[in-house]
């Protein structure tokens, strides 16, 4: 039986290979990275030699799957008015992240769906679908090889953020596939975002019920990654404030039960952002292993 894939978000500020080595040293069996400045429209050039060494190290030490988190500026949920130029740049940046993920051998690219601004929910969904379909031709055809999964991450729902409800994620996936989209789609669920959106993870029974709701709306087979985070804010607050498990307000019993749901054992768990308590990476991995059993 393969070991449970557990890890954290790893900084590659010191280089791709240094990041992969750090992941192995602290006991990761999967991990997530950002490649390039996450708050810039131009992620910079990828060093292909460094990318090859990264791929080789990940394969040699059985650290796959590795996930790439796309930049924070991307917004595919509004393509009208003042947001039209941002929409065009978002398509370009997300496509650059997909190409980069292929070069790095990443299994998936995680992205935030963005804000609908002045658009209606139906218009936002149409914008998202059109943007995802444009990824296949932006900057030329996709490189040869199997593209990574494009993973829609749920939001906490504050303001006009799209994707806080499971049904929204399902609708976007269905619409892209009905339109003949070639990029494979999946979902990344963030536990802190679910909590902020009002989903209950407070008890083992509640956690199992929330997973059952996701399965009914989207399908467990679509779930490719879990961002395993506690939250610093109340359930239903529509706010996104990550915290280290046990230091936030989601009861540990609920988080532990969620991590140990049998149907989710094939799904990698990645812990993000340590929060105000700022534990070490070693501590984060120890706590994650304990919670996941």
Question: What does the pLDDT look like over 270-281, one tens digit per residue?
Answer: 999 776 678 899
The tokens describing 59, both together, are: 């394969």
| 49: in domain | yes
Average pLDDT for residues 202-206, to the nearest whole number?
98
CA distance 74 to 183: 18
Contacts of 228 by beta carbon, 8 Å cutoff, 6+ apart: 191, 245, 255, 259, 269, 270, 271, 288, 291
What are the respective helix, strand and coil percentages of the chain, to the nearest 5? 40, 15, 45
Residue 16 sits in which domain range? 6-292
Is residue 263 predicted with pLDDT exceeding 70?
A: yes
pLDDT tens, residue by residue, 10-30: 999 999 999 999 999 999 999
Contacts of 165 by beta carbon, 8 Å cutoff, 6+ apart: 157, 197
Q: Quote the pLDDT of residue 3.
A: 76
Beta pairing partners, 111: 152
- The region, left, alpha or beta by phi > 0 then psi within -120 to 50, assigned to residue 159 is left
Question: Does residue 84 contact residue 69 with C-beta atoms inside 8 Å?
Answer: no
**Residue 254, number of CB atoms within 10 A of its CB:** 21
Cα 171 from chain centre: 18
| 267: in domain | yes
| 1: in domain | no
> Residue 276's domain is classified under what CATH number?
3.20.20.150
Q: Quote the pLDDT of residue 1.
A: 56
- Phi/psi of residue 153, nearest 5 degrees: -95, 130
pLDDT tens, residue by residue, 135-168: 999 988 888 888 999 999 999 999 999 999 999 9
Number of structural domains in the chain: 1
Average pLDDT for residues 237-250, to the nearest whole number?
96
The reply to whether omega before 213 is within 30° of 0 (cis) is no
- Phi/psi of residue 241, nearest 5 degrees: -135, 95
| 160: in domain | yes
- The region, left, alpha or beta by phi > 0 then psi within -120 to 50, assigned to residue 266 is alpha
The tokens describing 255, both together, are: 């988080």
Q: Quote the pLDDT of residue 266.
A: 96
| 15: in domain | yes
- Phi/psi of residue 82, nearest 5 degrees: -65, -20
């Amino acid at each position: 039986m393969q070991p449970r894939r557990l890890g954290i978000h790893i900084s590659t500020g010191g280089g791709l290979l240094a990041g992969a080595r750090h992941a192995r040293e602290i006991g990761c069996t999967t991990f997530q990275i950002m490649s390039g400045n996450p708050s810039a429209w131009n992620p910079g050039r990828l060093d292909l030699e460094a990318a090859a060494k990264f791929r080789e190290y990940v394969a040699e030490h059985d650290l796959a799957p590795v996930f790439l988190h796309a930049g924070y500026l991307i917004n595919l949920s509004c393509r009208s008015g003042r947001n039209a130029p941002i929409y065009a740049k978002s398509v370009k940046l997300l496509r650059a992240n997909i190409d980069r993920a292929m070069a790095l051998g990443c299994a998936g690219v995680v992205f935030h769906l963005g804000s609908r601004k002045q658009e209606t929910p139906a218009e936002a969904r149409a914008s998202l679908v059109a943007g995802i379909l444009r990824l296949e031709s932006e900057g030329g055809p996709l490189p040869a090889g199997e593209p990574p999964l494009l993973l829609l991450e749920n939001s906490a729902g504050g303001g006009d953020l799209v994707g806080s409800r499971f049904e929204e994620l399902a609708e976007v996936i269905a619409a892209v596939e009905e339109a003949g989209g070639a990029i494979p789609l999946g979902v990344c669920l963030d536990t802190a975002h679910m909590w902020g959106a009002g989903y209950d993870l407070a008890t083992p029974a509640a956690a199992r019920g929330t997973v059952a709701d996701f399965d009914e709306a989207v399908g467990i087979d679509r779930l490719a990654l879990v961002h395993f985070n506690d939250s610093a804010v109340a359930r239903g607050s529509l706010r996104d404030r990550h915290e280290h498990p046990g230091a936030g307000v989601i009861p540990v019993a609920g988080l532990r039960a969620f991590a140990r749901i049998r149907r989710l054992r094939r799904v990698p768990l990645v812990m993000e952002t340590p929060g105000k308590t700022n534990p070490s990476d070693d501590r984060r991995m120890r706590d994650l292993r304990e919670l996941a059993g």
